[in-house]
């Protein structure tokens, strides 16, 4: 299973950390603000108070075992660049950084960021996607190319079991839960049947999720 390091626990970093953790992913969350660390401590595998620009301090945390580093440090441009360099030197293969501007993004790419994201632009795309696909109730990007989506079940799904639909084989997505009114069915079984007003929460690549949105 892939391991994640989240550096910076502002609104963006905290949301990414808790979303990944809720999806069953092991997450190490890091911030130098003890209040932010305390607020997330029961929601992730490890919450650690540390200065992400202090390489010596981070070297004691075993971060080199992580598969993905996600850096979100607000408007602290210099700090985010330093944190990117440090995670790169630890050998973390994928480093995703929240960018502030195109210039900042270019610098981050030069020092080792695999991907730079701009949340405001992403939010605009999410709004547009909801207009295009009104059956989408919630869309949470996880990593570049991967998302968690809650959507109204298409008519062709209704009355069928998850085994009969076989969404993993046919669409490449994983069903995380079924919502039925106030009832939530976590990690549903293959024999769970989809009802008319159910909503599904699925995880998969953006390409596979787009395909399933076209089902009527």
Predicted structure pTM score? 0.60
| 1 or 2, greater pLDDT | 2
Average pLDDT, the chain: 86
CA distance readout (Å), 175 to 75, 178, 189: 36, 8, 10
On whether the 121-213 domain is CATH 3.30.70.1450, my answer is yes
d(CA 120, CA 107): 19
Which stretch of DSSP H or E encloses residue 184? strand 183-186
User: Domain extents for the chain?
Assistant: 4-117, 121-213
**Domain 4-117 is in which class?**
alpha beta
Q: Are 173 and 202 in contact (CB under 8 A)?
A: yes
Predicted local distance difference test score (pLDDT) of residue 167: 87
Q: Are 189 and 129 in contact (CB under 8 A)?
A: no
Q: Are 159 and 152 in contact (CB under 8 A)?
A: no
């Amino acid at each position: 299973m892939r391991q994640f390091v989240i550096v910076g626990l502002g609104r963006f970093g905290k949301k990414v950390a808790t979303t990944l953790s809720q999806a069953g992913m092991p997450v190490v969350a890091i911030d130098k603000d003890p209040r932010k660390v305390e607020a997330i401590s029961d929601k992730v595998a490890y919450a650690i108070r540390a200065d992400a620009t202090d390489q010596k301090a981070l070297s004691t945390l075993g971060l080199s075992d992580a598969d993905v580093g996600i850096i979100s440090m607000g408007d602290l441009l210099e700090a985010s660049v330093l944190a990117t360099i440090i995670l790169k030197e630890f050998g973390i293969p994928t480093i995703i950084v929240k960018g502030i501007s195109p210039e900042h993004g270019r610098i981050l790419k030069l020092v080792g960021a695999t991907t730079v994201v701009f949340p405001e632009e992403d939010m605009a795309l999410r709004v547009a996607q909801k207009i295009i696909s009104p059956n989408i109730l919630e869309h949470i990007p996880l990593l570049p190319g991967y998302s968690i989506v809650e959507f109204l079940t298409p008519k062709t799904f209704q009355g069928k079991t998850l085994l009969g639909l076989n969404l993993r084989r046919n669409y490449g997505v994983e069903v995380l839960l079924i919502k039925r009114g106030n009832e939530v069915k976590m990690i549903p079984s293959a024999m769970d049947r989809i009802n008319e007003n159910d909503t599904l929460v699925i995880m998969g690549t953006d390409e596979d999720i787009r395909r399933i949105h076209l089902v009527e």
